[in-house]
Structure 1
Amino acid sequence: MEVAVSALRAELRQWIETARAGQDVVITERGIPVARLTGIEASDLLMRLERDGLLAPASAEREPAAPVTTARPANAVSGLVRRLRR
């Protein structure tokens, strides 16, 4: 399915829902494809985060984590965001 940049801006929520439903949306600018909007499968994301060591599977034996009271380095969150955007 194709959509012009101008229509994408005007109806962004609708196009996000289309991608979430599993359809690829090709974004065009003056009729030329420039980007693709696709949905993300949550299970694939969780498996990738586990594989990269950023997430551990839940365990019944595990104690709940204590709340974090110390500040984390600023690059920890930005590094995670960069990995998720790949």
Structure 2
Amino acid sequence: MDVDIRELCDSLSRHLAEVRSGHTVTITDHGRPIARIVPVERLTRLEQLREEGRIQPARTRKQPAPEPVHAKGIVSGLIDEHRR
């Protein structure tokens, strides 16, 4: 069921009752979908893939990006300098 933001605000209880009964409500802004309200019991696509064993959580945390290199001039000049 597609619902515009204004309509959602005006009748939130009714739309949440739809979700409780198992339906998905797609929220739109000027006709463009922007969000979904789904029953909490329904697995997301990511959860489904995990359940099927098709994906696994990362074993390690993502490392932070290194500090940027501050230099004057153009990048190709910096590369040439580091190659020497």
> Of the two, which has the highest radius of gyration?
2
Between structures 1 and 2, the one with greater helix share? 1
